[in-house]
Chains A and B, each alone.
Chain A
Amino acid sequence: MKLFTAISMEIKGLRIYRMQLFISLILIPFSYAFVVLLSSPKSGEGIGFIFSGMIVASLVGSYISLLSMRVSNIMKPSVLELYAALPVNTGCVVVAQMIVYTLFVLPQLILCAAIAAFNSETIMAGRFIFGIILSIYGVAVLGASIGALIRNPFKAQGIISLISWILLLVSPTYYSTTDLGIIYKVILLVNPVTHFLNIVRSGLGYSGLTSYVNSLIYVLIMSVLLTNYLRIKVQRMFMLEKF
C-alpha cells in the first residue's frame, strides 16, 4: 500500500518535468537512431542492431539521466528531513521511483525490442527477454546508485548529463566495433553499457566484443554490488552524518 502511494506520488510529481521526460525518453534516443539509420545500410541486420542499441540507450536515458536526478534529490539533507517524519522510508521511495521510470520507458522499450527482433535473422527469445530484464534492473540500480552517491541535485544536473553522454558515446550503441583499435576496444569493455548491449544483442544473434558469459558475469557482479551499495545508502541510520 505504501509503495503504491509512493508510486502515485512520484507519477504526479513528474507532471512538471514533462518536457524533460519527452526529451530524455523519446527525442534524444530516437533522433540518434534516425541520424544513424540515415547514414548506415538499410539492411534488416543494420536496423536490428540500431534498435537493439536503442533498448539500452532508452534505459540509460530513463535511469541515468532522470532516475539518478530524482534519487539525488531524495538524498538532499532538507528532503531527508522532510521525509524523516513521514510514514514512509527512503528505501520505499527509491524503489517507487525505479518502478515509475520503468513504467515510463516500457512502451518505447517494447517498440524497439519488437523492431529489433523483427529485423534480426536469429532470435533466441528467452535469452533476448532475459537480457532486457537484466538490463532494466542493472541500469536502474546503476542510475539510482549514482544519484545516491552525488546527493546534490544541483551538482547532479551537470555530472549526470556528462555520465550519460560518456556511457553512450563510449559504447557500441550505435556503431559497430569491427574496425576499432585494440585500445578503444579495451576502453569500451570497461563501460557497463557495452556489456548490457552484448547481453541484449546476444539474444538476436549479434556477437559482441567479449563473450556472452563474460558480460553476464560483469553485469551480475556489478548489479549485486550496486544493489548492496544502494541498500546501505538508503537504509542507513543517521542519514545526515558524513561518513
Chain B
Amino acid sequence: MSRKKESQVTISVKNLTKIYPNGKKANDSLDIQVNTGETIGIIGPNGAGKTTLVRQMLGLLKPSEGYIEILGKNIAREPKSVKGKVGYVPQYPLSFPSLTVKELITAVMKLSGKESINERSKQIIEMVGLKGMEKNKGYQLSSGSLKLLLMATALVQETKLLILDEPTSMVDIVNRNRIRQILKSLKEQGNSIFLATHDMNEAKELCDKIYIILQGKIIAFGSPEKISTLIKSPTEVQFVSPDLEKLKVFLESKKIKATFRENVTMISFPELSETIKFLAELEEGPGISYIRLESPSFEKAVFNILERRS
C-alpha cells in the first residue's frame, strides 16, 4: 500500500531551504507534494520565492537544506534527470529570435525523438493558438505569442509533468482561456501540473491544492475552497426590499446598521453565516425583490492572508 502511494507522488519537496550567498533566505522549510494527475498552485507576491523554488526543481540551483524528488529522482543528486521528463514554461517570454514557430517546435520534437513531426507540430500550433504564425520568427512575436510558443515547446515533449511559471502572464484573454482549457485537458489525461502564478482566478479554476508563499515560507495551503474559509472575511450584501418602511422597522428591531442609496440597502456582516441568517429573516419579513451578495472570495481570502502575515 505504502509502495503504491509512493509511486503516485510526482513531486516531493521536503524541508526545502535555499539561502543565497548574500544570506537571503529565498525558501524556508518548504514541504510540497504533487501527486500524479494533480494540479498544484503556488501563489505569492513578487520575491516570495516561487521562481527560486522552480529553479531548484529544474536542477539549476542547489537546495541549501532539504530535498526535491521529481518522478522518484533526487534533484540534488541528479540535477539533469528532469531533462526530457518535465515540460517547462519559464516566466520570461524568451525564445530563439531567428527560428520560426514551426522550426522551433519541429526542432524540439526532433530533440525529444518524436515521430510524425509534421502532423503533430500542426496540431500543437493550432492547439496553442499560433495558427497563421507558423512562419513568424521569434523576434516578430509579441510577448503573449512567445508565451504560447513556450507552452507549445513544453507540450510537444509529451511529458507527464508540467512546471509552469506564470504561463498566462502577458497573454490576451482569449489565449489565456485557451491555455486554461489545455491545462484542464492535460489534467484529465492524468498529467501532473505545478503552477506558479499571480492569477488568483487561474489558480482557483485549475488547482486542486494551493500553497501560498510569503518571504519563502508556506503560510497557508489547501483547496481553493478551504483557503477561502481560512479566515473570516466580511460579506457585503446589497438588496432592494418592496416595502422600505417595513424594512427600516425590521432593521431597527435587529439593531443592524445599514446604508441606503435610493431604494438599495447596503449592509456589511463580519461573516457569511450571519449574512445567510439575516437574509432568511428578511425574506420572512419585509421581503427581497433584488439581491447582490459579495461573499468571502478566494481572492479576498488570499489577499487577507498575505496582508496579515506580511
A89 vs chain B, min Cβ distance (A):
7
Interface hits, A53-98 → B, CB 8 Å: 77-82, 84-89
Cβ of A155 under 8 Å from chain B: no
Q: Mark A1-37, 1 if CB is under 8 A from B, else 0.
A: 1100110110011111100000000000000000000
How far is A6 from B110 in the complex, measured between Cα atoms in Å?
A: 10
Question: How many Å from the CB of A151 to the closest CB on chain B?
Answer: 13
- The reply to whether A87 and B157 contact each other, CB–CB distance below 8 Å, is yes
Is B90 an interface residue, CB under 8 A from the partner? yes
Tell me which residues across on chain B come within 8 A of A17, comparing CB atoms. 98
Bits for B101-134, please: 1 = Cβ < 8 Å to A, else 0.
0010001101111000000000000000000000
Chain B residues whose CB sits within 8 angstroms of the CB of A241 once the complex forms: 61-62
Report if B72 contacts A (CB, 8 A). Answer: no
Q: Which residue of B lies closest to A243 (CB)?
A: B21
Q: Shortest beta-carbon distance, B55 to chain A, in Å? A: 6
Determine if B90 and A78 form an interchain contact, defined as CB atoms under 8 angstroms apart.
yes
Which of chain B's residues 1-29 have a Cβ closer than 8 Å to chain A? 21
Whether B96 and A89, one on each chain, are in contact in the complex, defined by CB atoms closer than 8 angstroms, is: no
Flag the segment in B38-46, B81-89, B170-178, B256-264 that touches A.
Answer: B81-89
B68 is an interface residue with CB less than 8 A from chain A: no
A residues in contact with B86, CB < 8 Å = 85
Given the interface contacts A81-B90, A85-B87, A86-B153, does A238 sit within 8 Å of B98 by beta carbon? no
A242 CB-CB contact with B under 8 Å: yes
Q: Cβ of A86: which chain B residues have Cβ within 8 Å of it?
A: 83, 108, 111, 153
Q: Determine the chain A residues whose CB is within 8 A of the CB of B232 once the complex forms.
A: none
| Bound complex: CA A6 to CA B108 (Å) | 10
A237 to B154, CA, bound (A): 22
Do A238 and B112 touch (CB < 8 A)? no
Q: Which of A16, A88, A238 contacts B60 (CB 8 A)?
A: A238
A-B contact count (CB 8 A): 87
User: Is A12 in contact with B60, judged by CB distance below 8 angstroms?
Assistant: no
Taking a contact as CB atoms under 8 Å apart, the answer to whether A238 and B62 are in contact is yes
Q: Is B79 an interface residue (CB 8 A)?
A: yes
Q: Flag if A16 contacts B110 (CB, 8 Å).
A: no
Report if B97 contacts A (CB, 8 A). yes
Complex Cα distance, B92 from A77, in Å, reads 11
B55 contacts across to A, CB distance below 8 A: 81, 240
Please tell me if B226 contacts chain A, counting CB pairs below 8 Å.
no
Shortest A116–chain B CB gap in Å is: 34
- Assess the A85–B61 pair: CB atoms within 8 A: no
A237–B80 touching, CB < 8 Å: yes
- For residue A85, which residues in chain B have a CB less than 8 angstroms away from its CB? 58, 82-83, 86-88, 154, 157, 163
* B99 on the A face (CB < 8 A): yes
B139 within 8 A of A: yes
Residues B62 and A9 in contact, CB atoms below 8 Å apart = no
Whether A87 and B82, one on each chain, are in contact in the complex, defined by CB atoms closer than 8 angstroms, is: no
A13 — which chain B residues lie within 8 A by C-beta? 96-99
Q: Is there contact, CB below 8 Å, between B62 and A84? A: no
Q: What residues of A have a CB within 8 angstroms of the CB of B59 in the complex? A: 84, 237-238
A129 to chain B, nearest CB (A): 34
Q: A5-B107, A237-B59, A238-B61 are in contact. Are A16 and B98 (CB under 8 A)?
A: yes
With A14-B98, A238-B62 already in contact, the answer to whether A5 and B111 are too (CB < 8 A) is yes
Interface residues of B (CB under 8 A from A): 21, 55, 58-62, 79-80, 82-84, 86-88, 90, 92, 94-99, 103, 107-108, 110-113, 137, 139, 153-154, 157, 163
Chain A interface (Cβ < 8 Å from any Cβ of B): 1-2, 5-6, 8-9, 12-17, 77-82, 84-89, 237-242
In the complex, given contacts A16-B137, A81-B55, what are 15 additional A-B residue pairs having Cβ atoms less than 8 angstroms apart?
Answer: A2-B111, A5-B107, A6-B111, A8-B107, A9-B103, A9-B107, A15-B98, A16-B139, A17-B98, A84-B83, A85-B58, A85-B87, A86-B83, A238-B60, A241-B61
